[in-house]
C-alpha cells in the first residue's frame, strides 16, 4: 500500500510499504477514506519528538471502512464505517475504566522508553514515535487498529467524512481544553493559537456557554476564522498580550487560559524568540514555552490554565511564583478522545457545529509532502489539510 | 535519616551521591544534545565529517547517555549505573579516536574533548567507588525489583502466577519452565550471547493469594532466588504485584555492567516482564506494535523496526 513516511527532519515521503495484518485478537484493519495532518505532526516533522525512525508511517487523524477483523473483536463488522481516536486504548485497564484513555496502561509496548523520559508512560498513539508505541499511523491506504472494539466509533453514512473526521482528534482535543478549564456560563476565556486545535477550543468554549472568548495568534486569516466563530482577537505581534488581556477584562485577566500552541511557540520579540530557539537547538531546554509563561502570568487570580498544546521534555523559567501565589490551577494532557467522541458526535448530528469549517486544503495522499510544507508555513491561508488515499 | 546516622557530618557517600546527581544531569543534557544535533555535537567534539555513521554513532551515544542519566537519577542501583558510565567513557574515548582518525579531526577541539572525557571518567570512577562501598551490595550478587498493578482480584492474579509454566508467556528471558510431580521445577532461560542457561528450582514458600518464593537448587548455571508478593491496591484498583529477584550473573559484576551497556538492565527487564503479565491478565495476550512486534521490550529499543506494517 501507499503510506506517508517520516524520512528525517523536515522530510516526509509517500512510499510503498507492506499492507497491515492482524497482530492481536482485537485488531481490525481499516481501509482509510480520509486522513488529516495535525499540528502534532509538525512537531515530528520539525524533529522535536525523540525516538522517530526513518520509515515510520505518520498520521493519527483518520477514518474509513472496516475490511478485516480479528477473532476477538465484538460489536464491529466488516463494512462498518468508523472514526478512530488517536490514542490507542484497551478499555479494561484502570486508566481506561476511569475514562483516561490517553493514559491506557496496556497499549504501549515501549512503555520502558517513555518511562525514562517522562517518569511513567502514557498510552501509545498512532504514528507518533517509538517511545509512544511504534505503531504505524493513518496517513496511508490502510491501518491496523488495535482494540478496535473499544476504539473505533461507528458512524452512519449520512454524515460526510469531513463532518466526522475530526472526532478522531482536534474536536475532542479542543473540547477537552475547555473541559479541563471548567469553562461555563459567565467565563472570559483566552485561547492562545488559532490553529485547528485552537479553533475547536474556541468553538467548544461557546458550546459550553462561555460569555467571551479571546483568540491570540499572529496569522490574519486564522484570527478572522476565529472571529467568525464569535471570538474577539489579539495579534501578538501588534500588542503586548498580557497588557491587552488585562485591559479587555477590567484588569482582572481572563478567568480561563487555554494553551493551544505548545512547544514551538513564536515570540513577538525576535531577540527573546532567538534566545529560546538557541537553547532549544542546543537541547538546554526542549520547549519554547512563551505561551505557557504568558498564560500563567495573564490568568486571573484563582483561574485555570489548561494546556492542550504539546510539550515534550523540560522547560525553563516557568513562573512558579505567579502560579503559586495566585492560587492558579493547571491541567494538561493528550486528549482522552474516547471519552468525548459520542457526545461530540451528537453535537455534529444536531447541527450545533459543522467541524468542516477548518478545512482549507484537500489533496490526494500522494501530495502529503506538499501538504506538510503548506501547513508548516501556513502558506496559501492554510488552516487544515485533509488527504484522501 | 542518613544525616542522623552519620551524626550530621558529610560522609564520603553523601559527596558521592551529590556527584552522582551532577553526573546524572550531565548525562541527560549531553544525551539530549547528541540526539537533537548529532552532527553539531560530533563537530564540537572535534570530529569534522558529517555523514550517516557519525550521526548514527553520536545518536546511539545520546540514547545511552539518556538511559544512564535517567538510571542514575532514578536512585535505583545508582552505583551500577555509574559503573556503566565508566565503561561508556572508555567507549567514548575509543569512538572519538576512531572517528577522528577516519574522518579527519580538528586537533585543538579533539584535544579538548579528550581532556574533558578524561575528567569525566575520573569523576565517574570516584562517584561509582563511593557508592559501591556499601554493605548490602553483596559482591557478585545482582538484585532486581519491580512492581505493577493489575486490574484483577488477588486470587486471579495469584492463580495465574502460581502455575509456573505460565511464566515464559510473559517473562522474555525464560524459554521454558517444567514442573515435575515432586514439585521441583526445571527452568531454561536465554543467557549471554543467546546461550541457554538451566537450573532446577524449588518452592520455598507458597501462601495462597499472598506470596510465592523460590530458589535454585543443586548445580545451577545461574544461582538465583526470587519472590512474588500480591497485595490489594488502594481504592479497589486491583492487585499490586511485587517481584524481587536475586542472582549471580555469569561473569560477575563486570558481566552485569557489560550487559547493562547492551541495554540489559535487570530492573527494566523485570518491569517489562510485569507489564506483559498485566497485559496477559487484563486483555488475554501480549500487545504488539509493528515497531516492537514481539511486545514489551525496552532491551530492544535500539533494534526497533520502523513503525511500518510487518511484511
Ligand atoms: N493535547 C492533545 O491531545 C493534542 C491533540 C492535537 C494537537 N495538539 C497540539 O495542539 C497544538 C496546536 O495544534 P494545531 O493543529 O492547531 O497546530 P498549528 O501549528 O496549526 O497551530 C498553532 C498556532 O499557534 C500560533 N502561535 C505560535 N506562537 C504563538 C504565540 N506566542 N501566541 C499565540 N499563538 C501562537 C501559530 O501561529 C499557529 O497558528 C500543537 O502543539 C499540537 O501538537 C494537542
Ligand atoms: Zn493530532
Ligand atoms: Zn487501557
CB distance A286 to ligand 1 below 6 Å = no
Can you give the CATH number for the domain in which B201 is found? Answer: 3.30.530.20
User: Which of the listed residues A171, A213, A236, A261 should we mutate to test ligand 1's pocket, taking the one with most ligand atoms within 8 A of CB?
Assistant: A261
> A222-229: long-range contacts at Cβ-Cβ below 8 A with a sequence spacing of 24 or more?
A222/A194, A222/A195, A222/A198, A222/A378, A222/A383, A223/A194, A225/A194, A225/A199, A225/A357, A225/A358, A225/A383, A226/A191, A226/A194, A226/A198, A226/A199, A226/A202, A228/A357, A229/A199, A229/A202, A229/A203, A229/A357
Q: Which domain holds residue B183?
A: 142-286+297-301
Question: Is residue B181 domain-shared with residue B63, that is, in the same domain?
Answer: no
Under 8 Å between Cβ of B228 and B243: yes
* Distance from the alpha carbon of residue A173 to the mean position of ligand 1, in angstroms: 11
pLDDT band at A330 (very low <50, low <70, confident <90, very high): very high
Question: Is residue B79 domain-shared with residue B171, that is, in the same domain?
Answer: no
Question: Is residue A100 domain-shared with residue A216, that is, in the same domain?
Answer: no
Burial pattern A207-228, b for ≥16 Cβ within 10 A else e, equals bbebebbbbbbebeebbebbee
Question: Is residue B154 domain-shared with residue B282, that is, in the same domain?
Answer: yes
Please identify, among B80, B102, B133, the residue that sits at the C-terminal boundary of a domain. Answer: B133
A239-248, A254-263, B77-86, B213-222: segment of lowest average pLDDT = B77-86
B32-41, B192-201, B231-240: segment of lowest average pLDDT = B32-41
CB distance A245 to ligand 1 below 6 Å = no
pLDDT, mean of residues A104-128: 95
B104, three cell numbers = 579527519
pLDDT, mean of residues A183-203: 98
* Distance from the alpha carbon of residue A262 to the mean position of ligand 1, in angstroms: 6
Whole-angstrom distance, CA of residue A368 vs CA of residue A389:
10
pLDDT at B94: 59
A191-195, A234-238, B196-200: segment of lowest average pLDDT = B196-200
pLDDT at A315: 86
pLDDT in tens, B15-40: 555 556 656 666 666 666 666 666 66
pLDDT, mean of residues B49-74: 62
Cβ of B85 under 8 Å from any chain A Cβ?
no
Whole-angstrom distance, CA of residue B300 vs CA of residue B58:
18
Dihedrals phi, psi of A32, to nearest 5 degrees: -80, 130
pLDDT, mean of residues B126-132: 58
Q: What share of chain A is helix, strand, coil (3-state, %, to 5)?
A: 35, 20, 45
pLDDT band at A10 (very low <50, low <70, confident <90, very high): very high
**Which residues from chain A sit within 8 angstroms of residue B291, using beta carbons?**
53, 56, 109-110, 130, 133-135
A213-222, A233-242, B82-91, B239-248: segment of lowest average pLDDT = B82-91
Looking at the structure of chain A, the number of domains it has is 2
Mind telling me how many Å the CA of A30 is from chain B's nearest CA?
13
pLDDT band at A288 (very low <50, low <70, confident <90, very high): confident
Instruction: Give the best residue of B287, B292, B296 to mutate against chain A (max A CB count within 10 A).
Output: B287
Q: Which domain holds residue A312?
A: 172-332
Question: Is residue A348 domain-shared with residue A269, that is, in the same domain?
Answer: no
Closest CA to A168 of A307, A335, A39: A335
Q: Bridge partners of B147? A: B242
What average pLDDT does the structure give for chain B? 74
Question: Is residue A14 domain-shared with residue A96, that is, in the same domain?
Answer: yes
Mind telling me how many Å the CA of B281 is from chain A's nearest CA?
10
**Which residues from chain B sit within 8 angstroms of residue A284, using beta carbons?**
29
ipTM surpasses 0.85: yes
pLDDT, mean of residues A370-389: 98
Question: Is residue B68 domain-shared with residue B121, that is, in the same domain?
Answer: yes
Under 8 Å between Cβ of A176 and A184: no
Task: Name the closest-CA residue to atom 14, ligand 1.
Answer: A39
pLDDT surpassing 90 at residue A168: yes
Task: Name the closest-CA residue to atom 13, ligand 1.
Answer: A39
pLDDT surpassing 80 at residue A366: yes
pLDDT at A351: 95
Q: How far apart are the first and last CA of chain B?
A: 57
Task: Name the closest-CA residue to atom 16, ligand 1.
Answer: A195
A186, three cell numbers = 459567565
**Which residues from chain A sit within 8 angstroms of residue B295, using beta carbons?**
109
Contact B307 A144 (CB under 8 A): no
pLDDT in tens, B133-185: 443 445 578 899 999 999 999 999 999 999 999 999 899 888 999 999 988 99
Contact A97 B293 (CB under 8 A): no
pLDDT, mean of residues B62-79: 62
pLDDT surpassing 60 at residue A108: yes
pLDDT, mean of residues B189-195: 80
Question: Is residue A227 domain-shared with residue A213, that is, in the same domain?
Answer: yes
Mind telling me how many Å the CA of B209 is from chain A's nearest CA?
21
Question: Is residue B169 domain-shared with residue B236, that is, in the same domain?
Answer: yes
Cβ of B266 under 8 Å from any chain A Cβ?
no
**Which residues from chain B sit within 8 angstroms of residue A57, using beta carbons?**
306-309
**pLDDT-above-90 percentage for chain B:** 33
pLDDT, mean of residues B50-68: 62
pLDDT surpassing 80 at residue B68: no
Can you give the CATH number for the domain in which A300 is found? Answer: 3.40.50.720
Looking at the structure of chain B, the number of domains it has is 2
Task: Name the closest-CA residue to atom 7, ligand 1.
Answer: A40
pLDDT at B134: 44
Question: Is residue B148 domain-shared with residue B267, that is, in the same domain?
Answer: yes
Cβ of B25 under 8 Å from any chain A Cβ?
no
Nearest 10 degrees: Cα torsion A51, A57, A61, A62 = -150
Question: Is residue A154 domain-shared with residue A27, that is, in the same domain?
Answer: yes
Question: Is residue A165 domain-shared with residue A270, that is, in the same domain?
Answer: no
- pTM check: above 0.90: no
pLDDT at B2: 32
Q: Minimum-distance ligand to the CA of A49?
A: 1
Question: Is residue B64 domain-shared with residue B172, that is, in the same domain?
Answer: no
pLDDT band at B95 (very low <50, low <70, confident <90, very high): low
Q: Is residue B193 part of a domain?
A: yes
Q: Which of B2-6, B127-131, B174-178, B291-295 has the highest mean pLDDT?
A: B174-178
Q: Is residue B1 part of a domain?
A: no
Can you give the CATH number for the domain in which A149 is found? Answer: 3.90.180.10
Q: Is residue B72 part of a domain?
A: yes
pLDDT at B65: 66
What average pLDDT does the structure give for chain A? 96
Question: Is residue A140 domain-shared with residue A238, that is, in the same domain?
Answer: no
Burial pattern A349-385, b for ≥16 Cβ within 10 A else e, equals eeeebebbbbbbbeeebebbeebbebbbebeeebbbb
Question: Is residue B152 domain-shared with residue B70, that is, in the same domain?
Answer: no
pLDDT in tens, A233-273: 999 999 999 999 999 999 999 999 999 999 999 988 887 78
Please identify, among B71, B106, B133, the residue that sits at the C-terminal boundary of a domain. Answer: B133
Q: Is residue B5 part of a domain?
A: no
In degrees, rounded to 5, the angle at the alpha carbon of residue B213 between the alpha carbons of residues B212 and B214 is 130
Between A276 and A243, name the one with better pLDDT: A243
**Which residues from chain B sit within 8 angstroms of residue A127, using beta carbons?**
307
Q: Which helix (H) or strand (E) holds A144?
A: strand A142-145
pLDDT, mean of residues A316-331: 96
User: Which of the listed residues A41, A58, A195 should we mutate to test ligand 1's pocket, taking the one with most ligand atoms within 8 A of CB?
Assistant: A195
Amino acid at each position: 500500500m501507499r503510506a506517508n513516511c517520516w524520512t528525517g527532519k523536515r522530510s516526509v515521503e509517500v512510499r510503498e510499504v507492506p499492507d497491515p495484518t492482524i497482530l492481536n485478537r482485537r485488531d481490525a484493519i481499516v481501509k482509510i477514506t480520509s486522513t488529516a495532518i495535525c499540528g502534532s505532526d509538525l512537531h515530528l516533522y520539525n524533529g522535536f519528538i525523540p525516538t522517530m525512525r526513518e520509515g515510520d508511517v505518520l498520521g493519527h487523524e483518520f477514518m474509513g471502512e472496516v475490511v478485516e477483523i480479528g477473532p476477538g473483536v465484538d460489536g464491529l463488522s466488516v463494512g462498518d464505517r468508523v472514526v478512530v481516536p488517536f490514542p490507542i486504548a484497551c478499555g479494561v485497564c484502570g486508566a481506561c475504566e476511569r475514562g483516561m484513555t490517553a493514559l491506557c496502561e496496556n497499549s504501549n509496548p515501549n512503555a520502558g522508553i517513555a518511562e525514562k523520559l517522562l517518569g511513567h508512560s502514557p498510552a501509545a498513539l498512532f504514528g507518533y514515535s517509538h517511545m509512544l508505541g511504534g505503531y504505524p499511523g493513518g496517513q496511508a491506504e490502510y491501518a491496523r487498529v488495535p482494540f478496535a472494539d473499544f476504539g473505533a466509533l461507528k458512524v452512519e453514512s449520512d454524515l460526510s467524512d469531513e463532518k466526522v473526521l475530526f472526532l478522531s482528534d482536534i474536536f475532542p482535543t479542543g473540547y477537552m481544553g475547555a473541559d479541563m478549564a471548567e469553562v461555563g456560563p459567565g467565563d472570559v476565556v483566552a485561547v492562545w493559537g488559532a490553529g485547528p486545535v485552537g479553533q475547536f477550543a474556541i468553538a467548544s468554549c461557546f458550546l459550553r456557554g462561555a460569555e467571551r472568548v479571546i483568540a491570540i495568534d499572529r496569522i490574519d486569516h486564522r484570527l478572522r476564522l476565529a472571529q467568525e466563530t464569535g471570538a474577539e482577537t489579539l495579534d501578538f505581534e501588534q500588542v503586548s498580550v498580557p497588557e491587552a488581556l488585562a485591559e479587555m477584562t477590567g484588569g482582572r485577566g481572563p478567568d480561563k487560559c487555554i494553551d493551544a500552541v505548545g512547544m514551538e511557540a513564536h515570540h513577538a520579540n525576535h531577540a527573546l524568540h532567538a534566545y529560546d530557539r538557541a537553547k532549544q537547538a542546543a537541547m538546554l531546554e526542549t520547549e519554547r514555552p512563551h505561551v505557557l509563561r504568558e498564560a500563567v502570568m495573564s490568568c486571573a487570580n484563582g483561574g485555570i490554565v489548561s494546556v492542550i498544546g504539546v510539550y515534550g521534555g523540560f522547560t525553563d523559567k516557568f513562573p512558579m511564583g505567579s502560579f503559586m501565589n495566585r492560587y492558579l490551577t493547571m491541567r494538561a494532557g493528550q486528549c482522552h478522545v474516547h471519552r468525548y467522541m459520542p457526545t461530540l458526535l451528537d453535537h455534529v448530528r444536531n447541527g450545533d457545529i459543522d467541524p468542516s469549517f477548518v478545512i482549507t486544503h484537500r489533496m490526494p495522499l500522494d501530495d502529503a509532502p506538499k501538504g506538510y510544507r503548506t501547513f508548516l508555513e501556513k502558506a496559501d491561508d492554510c488552516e487544515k489539510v485533509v488527504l484522501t488515499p | 535519616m542518613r544525616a542522623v546516622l552519620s551524626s550530621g557530618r558529610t560522609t564520603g557517600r553523601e559527596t558521592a551521591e551529590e556527584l552522582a546527581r551532577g553526573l546524572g544531569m550531565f548525562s541527560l543534557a549531553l544525551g539530549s544534545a547528541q540526539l537533537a544535533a548529532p552532527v553539531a555535537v560530533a563537530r564540537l567534539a572535534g570530529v569534522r565529517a558529517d555523514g550517516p555513521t557519525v550521526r548514527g554513532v553520536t545518536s546511539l551515544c545520546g540514547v545511552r547517555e539518556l538511559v544512564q542519566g535517567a538510571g542514575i537519577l532514578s536512585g535505583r542501583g545508582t552505583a551500577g549505573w555509574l559503573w556503566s558510565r565508566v565503561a561508556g567513557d572508555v567507549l567514548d574515548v575509543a569512538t572519538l579516536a576512531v572517528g577522528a582518525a577516519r574522518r579527519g579531526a580538528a586537533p585543538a577541539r579533539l584535544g579538548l574533548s579528550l581532556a574533558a572525557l578524561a575528567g569525566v571518567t575520573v569523576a565517574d570512577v570516584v562517584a561509582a567507588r563511593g557508592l559501591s562501598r556499601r554493605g548490602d551490595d553483596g559482591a557478585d550478587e545482582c538484585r532486581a525489583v519491580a512492581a505493577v498493578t493489575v486490574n484483577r482480584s488477588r486470587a486471579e492474579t495469584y492463580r495465574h502466577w502460581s502455575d509456573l509454566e505460565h511464566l515464559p508467556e510473559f517473562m522474555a528471558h525464560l524459554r521454558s519452565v517444567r514442573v515435575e510431580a515432586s514439585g521441583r521445577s526445571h527452568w531454561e532461560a536465554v543467557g549471554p550471547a543467546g546461550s541457554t542457561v538451566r537450573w532446577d528450582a524449588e518452592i520455598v514458600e507458597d501462601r495462597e493469594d499472598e506470596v510465592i518464593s523460590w530458589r535454585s537448587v543443586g548445580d545451577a548455571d545461574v544461582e538465583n532466588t526470587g519472590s512474588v508478593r500480591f497485595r490489594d491496591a488502594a481504592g479497589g484498583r486491583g492487585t499490586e504485584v511485587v517481584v524481587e529477584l536475586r542472582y549471580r550473573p555469569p561473569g560477575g559484576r563486570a558481566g552485569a555492567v557489560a550487559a547493562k551497556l547492551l541495554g540489559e538492565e535487570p530492573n527494566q527487564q523485570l518491569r517489562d516482564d510485569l507489564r506483559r503479565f498485566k497485559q496477559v491478565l487484563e486483555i488475554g495476550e501480549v500487545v504488539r506494535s509493528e515497531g516492537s512486534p514481539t511486545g514489551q521490550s525496552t532491551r530492544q529499543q535500539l533494534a526497533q523496526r520502523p513503525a511500518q506494517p510487518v511484511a
